[in-house]
Chains A and B, each alone.
Chain A
Amino acid sequence: MATALERSTTVTVTSGRPAWMEPPGPPEQVAKTLFLVAIAVVMLFPFVYVVAISFSSAKDVLAGGLILWPKNPSLDAYQAILRGGIVARALLVSTGLAVFGTAAKMVATVALAYGLSKRAVPGAKLVLFLVLGTLLFRPGLIPSYLLVKNLGLIDTYQSLILPGLISAFYLVILRNFFMNIPQELIEAARLDGGSDWQVLWHIVLPLSKAVLAVIALFYGVDIWNAFFNAVLYLNDASMWPVQLVLRQYVLQGSAMASAITLDPNQPPPPAQTLQMAIVVVATLPILVVYPFLQRYFTRGVLSGAIKA
């Protein structure tokens, strides 16, 4: 096993031009720079706007117009959201779901993708069709609910992980990447006496870091953003994930003055600031985690292995 891997040297490409690339001419430089600056502006601007509004006070929002920097910054929106510990608890719930859920989904998906990536296995194609079928035909809301109910999973966290445990879409992608690993490496490992498990662990997984990082990211973000299953399968509101809780603040903020409200000297913050603060609170954890995964799919990991 080790010998096969030794034969593939992993090179991490760091900053700096690779030896084979020629330096770009001025027109190319300029074009690329302009293009990138344009993209940066167009993509960053809405986020700057979102953050700016989230820190705005009622006065700024009422004045209207495009706010890129609040004149009267205020933490009202954030305070409104974070008080009472409800959001804090929901963040905890969502984090737990994201961590354990992603782990579970990755294990399940990798296993099946690997199993289906070996052509020699009789019946693999059949299972593949089974999986592909779910891409095209999806079960309805009520049958799904009835299944979860009959399995006794109502009001459990499992109900937020098990339905959708393996995404056919991600599975197909993962399988494709597995199948594109140079066969010579795998053959060599087998010749060395490696079992299927050892091939997976020592060859396939190390060479698939990029796509594994990507799928883990996708699963993680999906879990983090999910709320619909929670409404359906959870009757106990103390188990709500963060997106569901946060949405209610916007609902509350844009609803008309309810029967009894707070101290009138402290009117609730305007709905827009709440909405934007929610976007920030909900997205921040992803933005924090993301760079750690990003390095796996922006660096080359495979080099010089074929000429064995």
Chain B
Amino acid sequence: MATTTTPDGVQALQVSATATARSAPSLAQRMARERWMYLFIIPGAAYFVIFEYLPLLGNVIAFQDFSPFLGFRDSPFIGLENFRRLFSDADFKLALVNTLQIEVLQLIFAFPAPLVLALVLNSIVSAPVKRSMQSIAYLPHFLSWVIVIALWQQVFGGAGFVNQLLRSQGLDTINIMANPDLAKPLFVLQSIWKEIGWGTIIFLAALTRIEVELYEAAVVDGAGGWRRLWHVTLPGIRSVIVLLLILRLGHMLSVGFEQYFLQRGALGPQAAEVLDTFVYFRGIQGGDWGFAAAVGLVRGVVGTALIVTANSVAKRFGEEGIY
């Protein structure tokens, strides 16, 4: 290690500089060392550039009065006009508020639901029972929203099973499917019912990774069922939970389209208008592609902010996060 007669700071710097020069490889060296990995990365990256980013440039229409016939080149450029129209639209605020309210409810109820079910299923001892229960639970996922709503109408609708029963007993009928006040809980309940089974899949996969020895050790330490859950199971899948939560936050402004579109007529826009239906009626049906693209950009920006925030928070808690 070379020493010099310069002041300490500089000396130390020189020392460490030399040390780094000898022990840490340069960027080029690291790239060379990892060159095989690039074989894995480059094709995938190329896919994203070509098939995702190239067409993403098309979002320039958010700043245009775009029409398909004129195309990108000849459609007039209108700067921020689409955004101005968007933010001054009263229905936009309504749709935004509804969307956020629904999403918050989803986060509180619909997000944990598959996790809870997965934990219950995981604790089933008999493998055939476990597997068949899980298979039964996922069935509603394959029904389209059209059929799901029709089924719910059959049971809960004004002329549905439940109301028929009430009527035959001489009781008052209840209004579930056309009641704006019940709209948001209704939406969340429908989502849970439809997706809870399918949602267990990824959690079950994550649960399989928890090493048996950890459970054995916990039992030896005298931990009962709930403590094992808290100290072994949940920590074991924590990173997946956090990952999915962050991803979900990135889509906070998208709660779906079909489910709301189908019930909007019955419940009224005050209760059922969400961002996706708003864009549909304003943008798509009116052939206002630029406007629709503008909404998309707003969504992307908000989503980015949310993901970045969520990711840093996660990191602060010692989690990996998304990146």
Stretch of B1-9, B13-21, B76-84, B211-219 contacting A (4+ beta carbons < 8 Å): B211-219
A contact residues around B243 at 8 Å (CB): 172-173, 176
Q: Say whether A108 contacts B44, CB under 8 Å.
A: yes
Main SS class of interface, B? helix
> How far, in whole Å, are A42 and B190 apart by their CA atoms in the complex?
12
What's the minimum C-beta distance from B49 to chain A, rounded to whole angstroms? Answer: 8
A contact residues around B296 at 8 Å (CB): 137-138, 140
For window 67-120 of chain A, which residues contact chain B by CB distance below 8 Å? 108-109, 111-112, 114-116, 118, 120
A contact residues around B247 at 8 Å (CB): 135, 169, 172
Q: A112-B45, A138-B296 are known contacts. Are A210 and B139 too (CB-CB below 8 A)?
A: no
Q: A36-B133, A66-B161, A146-B55 are known contacts. Are A214 and B205 too (CB-CB below 8 A)?
A: yes
Q: A20-B216, A140-B61, A217-B201 are known contacts. Are A165 and B47 too (CB-CB below 8 A)?
A: yes
Q: Say whether B202 contacts A112, CB under 8 Å.
A: no
Q: Say whether B211 contacts A298, CB under 8 Å.
A: no
Q: Say whether B208 contacts A298, CB under 8 Å.
A: yes
A contact residues around B323 at 8 Å (CB): 125, 128-129, 132
Q: Does A306 contact B (CB under 8 A)?
A: yes
> How far, in whole Å, are A110 and B22 apart by their CA atoms in the complex?
36
Q: Say whether A21 contacts B215, CB under 8 Å.
A: yes
> How far, in whole Å, are A114 and B44 apart by their CA atoms in the complex?
11
Q: Does A231 contact B (CB under 8 A)?
A: no
Residue of A nearest to B62 (CB): A140
Q: Say whether A140 contacts B293, CB under 8 Å.
A: yes
Chain B 116-154, CB within 8 Å of chain A: the 1/0 string?
010010011111101101111101101110011001001
Q: Say whether A122 contacts B289, CB under 8 Å.
A: no
B contact residues around A44 at 8 Å (CB): 136, 139
Stretch of B94-102, B173-181, B258-266, B299-307 contacting A (4+ beta carbons < 8 Å): B299-307
> How far, in whole Å, are A180 and B154 apart by their CA atoms in the complex?
46
Q: Say whether A210 contacts B135, CB under 8 Å.
A: no
> How far, in whole Å, are A162 and B48 apart by their CA atoms in the complex?
11
> How far, in whole Å, are A125 and B98 apart by their CA atoms in the complex?
36
A contact residues around B201 at 8 Å (CB): 214, 217, 297
Residue of B nearest to A67 (CB): B154
Q: How many residues of chain A get a CB closer than 8 Å to chain B's CBs?
A: 102
Q: Does B317 contact A (CB under 8 A)?
A: no
A contact residues around B59 at 8 Å (CB): 137, 139-140, 143
Q: Say whether A46 contacts B139, CB under 8 Å.
A: yes
A contact residues around B289 at 8 Å (CB): 140, 142
Q: Does A136 contact B (CB under 8 A)?
A: yes
Counting residue pairs across A and B whose Cβ atoms lie within 8 Å, the total is 262
> How far, in whole Å, are A139 and B155 apart by their CA atoms in the complex?
40
> How far, in whole Å, are A153 and B307 apart by their CA atoms in the complex?
35
Q: Does B316 contact A (CB under 8 A)?
A: no
Chain B interface category by residue count: 35 or more
Q: A32-B123, A40-B136, A50-B143 are known contacts. Are A118 and B34 too (CB-CB below 8 A)?
A: yes
Most-contacted residue by chain A among B117, B124, B201, B225 (CB, 10 A): B201
What's the minimum C-beta distance from B218 to chain A, rounded to whole angstroms? Answer: 8
> How far, in whole Å, are A22 and B139 apart by their CA atoms in the complex?
32
A contact residues around B293 at 8 Å (CB): 140
B contact residues around A22 at 8 Å (CB): 219, 224-225
Chain B 232-260, CB within 8 Å of chain A: the 1/0 string?
00000001100110010011000000000
B contact residues around A283 at 8 Å (CB): 142
Residue of A nearest to B201 (CB): A214
> How far, in whole Å, are A147 and B52 apart by their CA atoms in the complex?
10
What's the minimum C-beta distance from B159 to chain A, rounded to whole angstroms? Answer: 9
Q: Say whether B154 contacts A66, CB under 8 Å.
A: yes
Q: A132-B322, A139-B59 are known contacts. Are A300 and B212 too (CB-CB below 8 A)?
A: yes
Stretch of A9-17, A55-63, A233-241, A255-263 contacting B (4+ beta carbons < 8 Å): A9-17
Stretch of B35-43, B85-93, B270-278 contacting A (4+ beta carbons < 8 Å): B35-43
Q: Does B280 contact A (CB under 8 A)?
A: no
Q: A66-B154, A140-B61 are in contact. List 7 more A-B contacts (CB 8 A).
A: A15-B125, A39-B136, A112-B45, A136-B300, A144-B55, A173-B202, A290-B135
Residues on A lying within 8 angstroms of B by beta carbon are: 11, 13-22, 24, 28, 32, 35-36, 39-40, 42-44, 46-47, 49-50, 66, 108-109, 111-112, 114-116, 118, 120-125, 127-140, 142-144, 146-147, 162-166, 169, 171-173, 176-177, 179-180, 195-197, 210-211, 213-214, 217, 275-276, 279, 282-283, 286-287, 290-291, 294-306
- Can you identify 7 A-B contacts, CB atoms within 8 angstroms? A13-B212, A143-B56, A147-B50, A176-B239, A176-B240, A210-B205, A294-B131
